[in-house]
Structure formats: C-alpha cells, structure tokens
Amino acid sequence: MERPLTGHIKKGEAPPGFREYYRAGGYNGTIKALKEMTPAGVTSLVKASNLLGRGGAGFPTGVKWSLVPMEGENIFPKYLVCNADEMEPGTFKDRLLLEGNPHQLIAGMIAAAYAIQAGTAYIFLRWAYKKAERELRKAISEAYREGFLGKNILGTGFNLDIHVHTSAGRYICGEETALLNALEGKRGIPRTKPPFPATSGLFGKPTVVNNVETLSWISHIVEKGADWFKGLSLTGTGGTKLYGVSGRVKRPGLWELPLGVTIGEIINEHAGGMHDGYAFRGVLPGGASTDFLVEEHLDVKMDFSTVAAAGSRLGTGTMIVLDDRTCPVAFLQNVEKFYALESCGWCTPCREGLPWVEKMLSAIEDGKGKMEYLDILKFHTSYMGPGHTFCAHAPGAAEPLQSGLRFFHDDFKRHIEEKKCPWK
C-alpha cells in the first residue's frame, strides 16, 4: 500500500532535510510545475485529480484555485495561506506532517503558489506547535538556500516568499476568514462571505487558504498525475487520508490509509480495538464538531460522501471514540464547554447559545437537570444551525449535541430522573 504523505516520515527520527528529500524526488513535482507547466495547467491538473480539501470541509482544491482571478487589473499581489492552525479537538494529523516532513509542505506550497501566481505565502501555525515551528523555519531557510524560495526560483522568473506566522491561539482562527483577520493583526472573527478569499482575501487581495494535508499533496499530484491520485482511494474520490483515533482503544494513533476504509477497520484493526473492559458506544468520526456515529455505522466508509450519507461528516478524519465507561453527558458537556469558550463572540446564537447549552449539560451532569432542558437543548441544535449563525462554529458544535441527544437519550433521562450521574 502506497503511503505518499507519510512515506518519508520515520518514527523517532528527524524529518528529512532538503537534500535528502530532494534526492528522494520530493521536489520533482514542484520542479515539473514550475519548469514544464503553465499555472493554469497546474490548476486544471489538481482539479482533475479531485483533491478535496483535507481541513474538514472537503471543498475541491482545484475549484478553489480556479476562482482566483488570473487576468485583469489590480489582481496582484496574491497570497497563498497554509492553514496549520490545527485546533479541532481530537485532531493531530497536520502536526505529523509539519513535524515529520516540512519539505513536503513547502514543495506543495511552491507549486500551489505558482498555480495561482501568488508571490507571498504564509503558514498560519498553531501556537502550541513549537517543534513544528522549529522544523518549518529550518526547512524554509534550506529552501531559500537551495533556490526553491525567493527570487527567480529555478530560473523560471517565479518569486515566492514563505513566512511562518504563529497564531495567538484561538480555535476560531482556524476558520479561514478569521484566520485572515488574525493574520492581518485584527480581531480573530470570521468574515462575511461572499466575497470569498479568492476575490478579497488577505489584505483585500486574491487569496487561497488550504490545509497542511491538502498542500502536502500538490507536488505528488503534479509529479504522478491525477489518475495515480484517484487510484489511491478505495472510493474513487482520490488520495489517501490521514486517519487518527483517540479514546479508550488499544493503540491510539495516526495512519495513512486509502480514502474509503471503514470506520470499523480503522478502530478495530489499526487502533487495535477497544481496551479490555471497555465497550464501544459511539464515535465522532472527524473531530469534535461532527455528529456521533454508533455501532451500526462501523461499516461506513471513511470518505466525504459516505460519512455524510450516514449522517455525519468526514471532517478531519480523526476520530474520538466514546466508550461505555465514560458518561456521554459529561463527554458532551466537555465538548460544548470548549466551543462555548472558543466562540469569537460575534453572533448571538453562538455567543449566547453555547454557554446556555453548556450550563444545561453541566446541570444535568450534576443531577440538577430538568426534563425541559432536553427540549431547550434540542431547540438549540436547530437555533445554532447552518444559516442561522455567522460562521460554521456553532453549527459544528451543534452536531455532536444533536446526535448525542438522539443516541444517548436514555442516558440523559436517567441523569435527570435519578438526579445524579449514573457513572459517578
């Protein structure tokens, strides 16, 4: 099985330096893009590969790029931004790529910047990723030294600077437009859409924001082609995916697997199944802002459309497993507390709705809940739903809550009726 993204990452070892990665062919795609292809050619290749954004929303990367104006007045400067602000609870996939092979990301970013003709790129990095920051800065300076960054890259006339910007550490800054505000030194609140960043992004200029995992693919796709990429997945969507599992499983971890492996295979084979004495109750398949899936969904294929069909989202592809010895109410309370605190405070349903949700969950967990809270909680899952809020933060928070209320209804009822948490 091919592992293009993690093939060069060796546990316990330093990431490959420029020379090593270059000799291994890691920059081949980048060189090919810059020397042999037109920017439009790179974009249409990526479009043809059907690379879907790995940040969680699954938007087609090539389509995003094709929205960037390539002709006309006042289109320059343009920017490429790598979203490395990985803060989704339970998600740690970008960290591996950043710490394990920063040159893969840089190679991808050069090709991507070339495709949209961006002269400046930023890596917006989670503040806590200290090691990643060190490795990135080192790799970037190597790339400059080797003529892969800076002016007139590889003699092609193409210029690119990459800057690392460490975030001040708010979850919302991972939302691509809040990220842009933060990068501009402004308050980290999401922006009105439309206009989308492709038209008016960083500093009001055409901008593409892509996830680390997405950008890490670009050089590979350019080198080996769209068909190769499509062939990597089981479902035809294209590519492998980093899947992670946390929770009470035998071997929590991260694996690069073809898109489309089943949830059950990931949990039971790769993560080794549940710990002894713990039983599986449910899973948030793609990070904390995705709907619960349960026993009956273990055969669901982990791909964008298949998980959506099952009522959840692939998200970041990193799962959080709920076991039978963990109280689902406390679990949800913990999740919602995170979202309540991380609300940027801009729109009402999110800013006021989430704290109320969290307070009700706390009260229920503490045995002080009322039956009517279940109605109010349920009401909030639609009140904070898509279209009702300014961005996707509260709708994301509503996902585990709405499915949790459905799948663990009896557990909620027991808390309220027994006036205590049955797990305590």
Partner 1 sequence: MEMKVVNIRIDGKPYEAHEGKSLLDTALSLGLYIPHFCYHPALGSVGACRLCAVKKFRDTNDTRGRIVMSCMEPVVDGLIVSINDPDAKAFRAAVIESLMTNHPHDCPVCDEGGECHLQDMTVMSGHNYRRFDFRKRTHNDQYLGPFISHEMNRCIQCYRCVRFYRDYAGGRDFNVFATHNNVFFGRHEDGTLQNEFSGNLVEVCPTGVFTDKTFREHYTRKWDLSNAPSVCVHCSVGCNIIAGERYDTLRRIMNRYNGAVNGYFICDRGRFGYEFVNGKDRILSPRTRDSRDLEQAEMPADQVFTALEPLFSKDRKIMGIGSPRASLESNYALLRLVGEENFFHGISGKEQSLTRAALQFMQNSGIVVPSLKQVEKADAVIILGEDLTNTAPMMALAVRQAARNIQITEALAKGIPFWNDLPVRELAQDRKSPVYIATPVKDSLDDVAERSFRGTPAGISKLGFNISSVIKRQAIVPGDNDDEIRNLAEQIARTLLKAENPLVIAGITCLDGNVLNAGMSIASSLLSLNKKVMFIPVLPESNSMGLALMPGKSLDDAADTLSVQGTDTLIILENDLFRRADEDTVANMFGKSGRVVVLDYLNNPTARAADILLPATAFAESQGTIVNNEGRAQRYYKVLAAGEGIKESWQWLNQVSGIRSDNVPVSPGHFDDIVASMVTALPVFSAIKEYIPDADFRMLNAKVPRQTFRYSGRTAMNAHRAVSEKRVRQDPDSPLAFSMEGRRESPPSSLVPFYWTPGWNSVQAFYNYIDHPNGSMKGGDPGIRLIRQAERVNSGSFEMITGYFESEGDGWLIVPLYRVFGSEELSSAASSLRQLVDDPAILVNRRDAERLNVDDGDSVRLETSGKRLVVKVKIENSLVSGVAGLTVNLPGMNFVDLPASGEILKI
Q: By CB under 8 A, what part of segment 143-182 binds partner 1?
A: 170
Q: By CB under 8 A, what part of segment 177-196 binds partner 1?
A: 187, 191-192, 194-195
At residue 141, the 3 state secondary structure works out as helix
DSSP string, 298-330: TT-BSSHHHHHHTTS--TTSEEEEEETTS-HHH
CA 329-408-267 angle, to 5 degrees, is: 90
Q: Kindly state the smallest distance separating residue 202's Cβ from partner 1, in Å.
A: 9
Using CB under 8 A as the binding criterion, the count of chain residues that bind partner 1 stands at 36
Checking DSSP bridges between strand 207-211 and strand 240-246, what pairing results, if any?
unpaired
Q: By CB under 8 A, what part of segment 192-251 binds partner 1?
A: 192, 194-195, 199-200, 203-204
Identify the H or E element spanning 418. Answer: helix 409-418
Rank residues 49 and 343 by Cβ distance to partner 1 and give the closer one.
343
> How far, in Å, CA of 284 to CA of 418, rounded?
27
Q: Kindly state the smallest distance separating residue 190's Cβ from partner 1, in Å.
A: 10
> How far, in Å, CA of 255 to CA of 245, rounded?
9
Q: Which stretch binds partner 1 (CB under 8 A): 20-28, 248-256, 379-387, 408-416?
A: 379-387
Tokens of 63: 């389509």
- A 10 A CB-CB count for 87 gives 18
- Select from 44, 356, 366, 420 the one that contacts partner 1 (CB under 8 A): 356
Q: Which stretch binds partner 1 (CB under 8 A): 11-19, 250-258, 294-302, 336-344?
A: 336-344
Q: Kindly state the smallest distance separating residue 358's Cβ from partner 1, in Å.
A: 10
Q: Kindly state the smallest distance separating residue 396's Cβ from partner 1, in Å.
A: 15
> How far, in Å, CA of 101 to CA of 135, rounded?
8
Q: By CB under 8 A, what part of segment 6-45 binds partner 1?
A: none
> How far, in Å, CA of 146 to CA of 393, rounded?
41
DSSP 149: S
Rank residues 321 and 361 by Cβ distance to partner 1 and give the closer one.
361
Q: Kindly state the smallest distance separating residue 289's Cβ from partner 1, in Å.
A: 16
Backbone angles phi, psi at 321, to 5 degrees: -95, 130
Rank residues 44 and 199 by Cβ distance to partner 1 and give the closer one.
199
Q: Kindly state the smallest distance separating residue 177's Cβ from partner 1, in Å.
A: 9
CB 30 within 8 A of CB 113: no
- Select from 77, 169, 345, 422 the one that contacts partner 1 (CB under 8 A): 345
Q: Is 402 in the site for partner 1 (CB under 8 A)?
A: no
- Residues present in the chain in total: 424
- Select from 254, 259, 354, 416 the one that contacts partner 1 (CB under 8 A): 354
CB 63 within 8 A of CB 214: no
Applying CB under 8 A, which residues contact partner 1? 170, 187, 191-192, 194-195, 199-200, 203-204, 340-349, 351-356, 359, 363, 372, 376, 379, 383, 387-390
